[in-house]
Structure 1
Amino acid sequence: MFFSVVIPTYNRLPILEKCVRAIARQTWHPELGIQAYEVIIVDDGSTDNTIEWLEAHRDEFPCVRWLQQEHLGPAAARNLGLQVAKGDWIIFIDSDLVVTETFLEAHVRRLIQEKQRLGIEEITQVPAFSYGRVINTCNFEEPTSEPYKVIDFSAAYFATGNVAIARHWLEKAGLFDTQFQLYGWEDLELGVRLKKLGLRLLKCPEAVGYHWHPPFSLSQVPALIQKEIERGRMGVLFYKKHPIWEVKLMIQMTPFHYFLWAILSLGGILNEKTLAPLLQWLINIGRPQDALEVARIFLNWYNVRAVYSAYQEQALQQPH
C-alpha cells in the first residue's frame, strides 16, 4: 500500500509548519503492508511565503513535494494534487490539521478490518473509505493536548479534513467539481456521488487530527460573515447538481431553517453589532468558544438568507 497525502493550503504557513512536521513523522508496524507514503502540498496562491518555507526545509521533509496554482479554491487544488499523486490510496487532510504519529496506521488498520469482514482479496476494491476523528482546538503551542468534545462530533458522510480512500473510487466518481470556487460544499458534493457508488463510511476515531483555529475575536466577524454568504451561494450550486431533500437539509434550504434562524436572531435584530458587547464580554472572561456559539445566531441567519437569495437569483435566470 502506497499512500499519497494531499494537502491544499492558502495563507496558513504558521499552522502548516506544524501540519507538515506531524504528517512527516508517521510510524507503523511492518505487517500492515504499508510500503511508503508521500505528502503533496498544493499551494492555492498563497502570499505568506509558503513555498519559500517549503524550499528552505526540503531536506528536513524528503517525503514532501509541492505544487503551486492560482487561487482557484480547494477543489481545484485537490484535483491538481491527485494528478501528480503516485499512491493507490489517497488521504486528504486540511493544512490546519495536526495529526498523531499513528494517524496513517490507524486508517490502514480500519480499512484492513473492513476488507477482512467482507472477505475481499484486494484492499483497493473494498467499497468504503475511512473517516478519522477531527478535534477542534485553539491551542497553537500544543494542539494535540485538546480532549475530544461533544461539539467535535461530525455527521458528515464525506469530508476532506481527515479521510482515506482508494484512488480509483475518486476517479470513478469524477473527482472534485471545480465550479465550487467559493467557500464550502465541494467535498460533500463529491460525497453524494461516492454514496451513489455504494461506498460505506468507516468511522476511524483512532486516526486523530487536531484542527487548529485561532481563538474567536470580534476582528474575525466580517470574514466569518463572508464565509457564510459564500457557503450559502455554493449550497445552492450543490442543490442544483443534486436536487434532493438530503441536500436541502444540508444547506438549510427549508422553511424550518429559515424560520428557526429568523426567530433566534429576532429577524436580524440580534446581529454582529447588537451582540458585540456580549461577545466581547465572553471573550474577556476567557470563553471565546462560547462567544463563537452565540455568534452562530447571526452567522446562520446570514447563511440562510444567502441560500434563499442565491436560489431566487437562479430562478430568475432560468428561461420561462
Structure 2
Amino acid sequence: MSPLHRKISTLLFVLLLTLTCNYFWVARRMWKRVTCVSKPDSDYNHIHFPDIPNMTLLESVLGLKQPGANGTAVVVDVKKLPKEEAEKFQRSIEEREYSSYTSSLIPLQRSLPDVRLQGCYTLYSDLNLPETSVIIIFYNEHWSVLLRTVHSIMDNTPPHLIKEVILVDDASTDEVLKEPLKEYVSRFRKVQIVRAESRQGLIRARMMGFEHSTAPVAVFMDAHCECFPGWLEPLVTRIAENDSIITTPMIHGVNPLNFGVTMTTNIRLQWVSFPELRFAWMNVPQREKLRRKRPTDPYRSPAMVGCVFAISRRWFRKLGQFDPGMEVWGAENTELSLKTWMCGGGLELVPCSNVGHMYRPNKYYDSNPPFFSRNIARIANVWMDGYNVFARNHDGALADVGDISDRLKLRRDLHCHSFEWYLANVNPESYIVGDGIYTGEVRNVGLGTFCIDDTYGSKRLVSPIALFTCHGQLGNQLWDYTELREIKNFMFCFQETTGPVAMAICDEGEMKQKWRYDPSADGHGPVVSASGLCLSVDTTQLILITETCNGNGLQLWRWRKRREPRTWKLKNSM
C-alpha cells in the first residue's frame, strides 16, 4: 500500500471512529431522556442530609411522578405537608435563597427539551472543534443543584468537546461537599475538584480554576445552571472562527422556588448601565436587526451577563484575565465586556445555544457593599476615560479603589480604543444620564423661570408632563436629548399624543418619541415632533402640549449642549 493510500485509510478510520462514538453518545442521551434515568431517592444513597425530603411520604401526599421532567415546575403545596416537612421546606429557602428542598425532589439527571431554532443542528454539526474546559465555582451550593449542573453538561455535550470540568470549591463549609462530593464525581473521568484553602470570591476563584484548566477554550459557568441539548457547539464554533470573540448563550430562567424553566422568547441584548456599571437589558437595535441575515445568526451585544460565557484561552490571557484587584463578585463581566470590544475583540449572543440559569433574589449591588463599589471604581478609572465621573465611587469616596497602575499599563500595551469609541461604535444606543447631546434643565423662553419637570414620579406614565419653577438641582429637571432624537429621563421618553405630551417607556422604533432640537446662535429654539408640531405650554395647567409652530416664546426652549452627536461606524464583518 502506498503512503498516500495509508494516509487516506487512517483518515477514514479516524472519521469512522468519531462518527461511531458520537452515534453512541446521541443514542445514550436519547435513552436517558426517554427513560427518566433515576429517581431522586437514588441520588442520595449512603449520604446523610438532615433536610432531605421524605420521598416516600411526598409521593403519596403530592402524587409526584417524574418531577421536573422536561424542565417542568415542581409546585409544593406546603399546606399539605406534615409539620416536619413544611419546616424543612421553609428552612431551605431561608438558608439558600432558593428551595433546595424542591430541588431534592428532582433527579440529578433530568431531561430538558431540545429548543434549538430550526437550522441550528445542521449549522453547528462540525466535529472538528477545539476542546473546552468548563469552570464552575461553588460555595455551599446545594448538592442537587451543583450536580444537576454537572450532569446537564455531561449529558448534553459531545464527549470529544469536553476536555475537563473543573469544580472550584471556594472553601465551602458544608461537609457533604467534601468527601461525599469527591466520591460522587469520581464516576466522571473528566470532572475534577480544586479546593481553595480560604474564601477567594467568585472572581479570583474563577482565575484559580482557569489556571488549572488546559483546553484552548474556557467556559465559565455558575454552579446553578442547566444546559440544553446542543448548548456548547455554537459557542465554540464562533470562537474557532475568530478566537477574539466572547460568546454567550440564550439564558432561560430557572425558578428558585419550583425549578421550572421559563423559556426566553424575546431576544434582548445587554448594555452597561450607569452609575452601577452592571449589565441591563435592551431591545435589539434596528442596526443589528438589519445586519443579521438569518434567525440563527449571532447578535453583537455591547455587554454580557456573567453567569455563562465562553472565551478562548489565548484571548483571555491577552486581556489580562479578570482584574485581580476586584473583589468577591460583581461587575467583572462589565470589565471583560468593555475591554474585549475596546481592545480589538467582540462579544456575541448565540441564539442556537441555550442554558438555564437560576437567578437568586438577593443582589449585593442593591445594598452597595464596599467590594462592589471598589470594583465599579476600578473599571471606571481604567476604561472609561472622562466618562468615569458618571460611575458610582469614581472618586473613591465610598470604597478604596486600590492600585490600578498594572491595569492602565495593560490598556496601553494593548493599544485599546477610547471609551468614546466604544459608545460611538459598539453601543450608540447607550444612555448615560447627563450625557445627552443636549443635557440638563429645559427652560421655557416665554415663561422665563419655568422648566420641564418630572413632577409625577411613579405616576409619570398616566400623567401629563408639567412645568415647575427652575431650581437648578437637576434630578427631576434633568433631561437628555440623544442620538435617537429622544428626550428622556432615565428609561422614560417624551411621546406625542393627540392631547398633552406624555411620558412612555423608551422605544427606539416609536416615531411619536422622535423630536428635533436645533437652537439658533442665541442658544434657544423650538422642539419639533416627528409630525411637524412644536412643543409648547398650556399656561392654564402648566403642562406640555404640541401645536402648530408659530415662533411664539412658549414654543422656544433653552437647553445646554454637551457634545457633538456620535455616529455608528462598526464594520459589518469580524
Name the residue aligned to 2:232.
104
Alignment of 1:265-304 (within 5 A): none
Shift of 1:233: 3.8
Spell out structure 1 runs of 4+ moving beyond 4 A: 139-143, 149-153, 227-230, 245-257
Which of 195, 219, 228 does residue 91 from structure 1 map onto?
219
2-structure distance, mates of 1:229, 1:152: 30
Which of 334, 343, 365 does residue 188 from structure 1 map onto?
334
Name the residue aligned to 2:147.
17
The answer as to 2:253 corresponding to 1:136 is yes
The answer as to 2:147 corresponding to 1:6 is no
Name the residue aligned to 2:189.
62
Amino acid at match of 1:208: N
Alignment of 1:1-320 (within 5 A): 1-13=130-142, 14-28=144-158, 34-49=160-175, 50-69=177-196, 70-111=198-239, 115=241, 126-138=243-255, 142-143=259-260, 145-148=261-264, 150=266, 153-155=269-271, 157-213=303-359, 216=361, 225-226=366-367, 230-244=371-385
Distance 1:3 1:48, change over 3 A: same
**Conserved? CA contact 1:139–1:146, under 8 Å:** no
SS of match in other structure, 1:24: helix
2-structure distance, mates of 1:52, 1:153: 41
2-structure distance, mates of 1:193, 1:130: 14
Structure 1 range deviating more: 226-235 or 175-184: 226-235
Distance 1:141 1:102, change over 3 A: farther
Shift of 1:205: 1.9
2-structure distance, mates of 1:61, 1:183: 29
Distance 1:21 1:36, change over 3 A: closer
Distance 1:72 1:192, change over 3 A: same
Amino acid at match of 1:235: I
Distance 1:249 1:23, change over 3 A: farther
SS of match in other structure, 2:334: helix
Amino acid at match of 2:243: V
2-structure distance, mates of 1:205, 1:24: 21
**Conserved? CA contact 2:270–2:305, under 8 Å:** no
Question: Which residues of structure 1 form unaligned runs of 5+?
Answer: 116-124, 266-320
Q: CA RMSD, aligned part only?
A: 3.6
Shift of 1:240: 2.4
2-structure distance, mates of 1:197, 1:76: 22
2-structure distance, mates of 1:146, 1:252: 36
1-structure distance, mates of 2:155, 2:347: 26
Which fold has the larger relative contact order, with Cα–Cα distance below 8 Å and residues 6 or more apart in sequence? 1
Question: Which residues of structure 2 form unaligned runs of 5+?
Answer: 1-129, 272-301, 395-431, 441-455, 459-574
Which protein is bigger by CA-based radius of gyration? 2
2-structure distance, mates of 1:247, 1:25: 45
Distance 1:110 1:247, change over 3 A: farther
2-structure distance, mates of 1:169, 1:247: 26
Amino acid at match of 1:169: W
**CA offsets per residue over residues 5-60 of structure 1, 9 Å max, x none?**
111122222421211111122333x9xxx554210111112222323342121233
**Conserved? CA contact 1:42–1:67, under 8 Å:** yes
2-structure distance, mates of 1:227, 1:10: 22
SS of match in other structure, 1:236: helix
TM-score normalised over the length of structure 1: 0.64
TM-score normalised over the length of structure 2: 0.38
**CA offsets per residue over residues 133-187 of structure 1, 9 Å max, x none?**
11223156654x3211659753452443221111010111111112211331123
Amino acid at match of 1:42: V
SS of match in other structure, 2:205: helix
Distance 1:224 1:53, change over 3 A: farther
Amino acid at match of 2:306: T
Shift of 1:88: 0.8
Distance 1:105 1:225, change over 3 A: same
2-structure distance, mates of 1:26, 1:58: 17
**Conserved? CA contact 1:19–1:97, under 8 Å:** yes
Shift of 1:89: 0.8
**CA offsets per residue over residues 46-81 of structure 1, 9 Å max, x none?**
222323342121233222111111211112111111
